Amino acid sequence: MVGIQAPNGTRHCGGVRRRDFLRAGALSIAGLTLVDWLKMHAYGQATEGKAKSVIQLWMAGGPTHLDTFDPKPEAGEEYCGPLDSPIETNVPGIRIGQLLPLMAKQADKYSIIRSFTHTDEGHETATYVVQTGTPPTAGLSYPSIGAVVALMKGQEGGLPPYITLTEPLGRFSESGFLGSKYKTFVTGGDPNAEQFTVKGLVPPPPRCPRPRRGRRPDAPPARAFARTHPPGILRPGLSLPREPTRTGQDR
């Protein structure tokens, strides 16, 4: 269930709340329409989500669905390749790719959406459809789903509502016509480094406490100094004058 929660549930004349239209719009990407969602809601099959944050792993150029969560060995080697032995999961009736044995043991903790599809055969334009829910147009740039979440959820606490690790996805992660206010915060850096630093959020190095002017860090307090040194000879904050350097002519 994909839902985009609006700050307040404003109802319109038809009795449907604004956030329901947003939720249905997000679901249309996965093959469901507003009518489908309303039917499911009427029969109690659609419930409010409890998730407060989402981590999207966009693996451009990664393994296909046939090699991971949607194997089709019955289609033959010409279609699915050599990975033709899917494994059973801990959920009866669900099989996944043979290269994911650990994931197979956790199938009761995640959901697999196998009804997601589109008709765009171009990698770039299809990615745009998936990230924005809209085919690309020449005159208007649409916001990514992360920017829409930033608009509807707003900032909570000290973290931005929309963060990208580590480089932006170009036009696929833009805020579009929503404006730069809902642009993703890009961390930069290398998470595999020993010290991962985030651009703009790197704390300054620790600073040693500076001694008072004219005193050494190991100098005694002023009162103790006054008891051990007669007045008029040397006061705290002053130093003894250096003797002039004598040359051979002075001698």
**Rounded mean pLDDT, 153-158:** 82
The answer to whether the CB of 106 falls within 8 A of the CB of 112 is no
Percent of the chain with pLDDT over 70: 63
- 11-28: buried (b, 16+ CB within 10 Å) or exposed (e) per residue? eeeeeeeebbbbbbbbbe
Q: How confident is the model at residue 24 (pLDDT cuts 50, 70, 90)?
A: very low
For the chain, what are the domain ranges? 1-51, 122-202
Residue 87: helix, strand or coil by DSSP?
strand
User: For residues 207 and 34, which has the higher predicted lDDT (pLDDT)?
Assistant: 207
Enter the pTM of the model. 0.57
| Whole-number pLDDT of residue 102 | 97
Size of the chain, expressed as the number of residues it contains: 251
pLDDT digits (tens, 9 = 90+) for 28-76: 444 555 566 677 777 776 666 777 788 888 888 888 889 999 999 999 8
**Which of 40-54, 74-88, 178-192, 203-217 shows the lowest per-residue confidence on average (mean pLDDT)?**
203-217
Q: Which residue has the tokens 């930069």?
A: 188
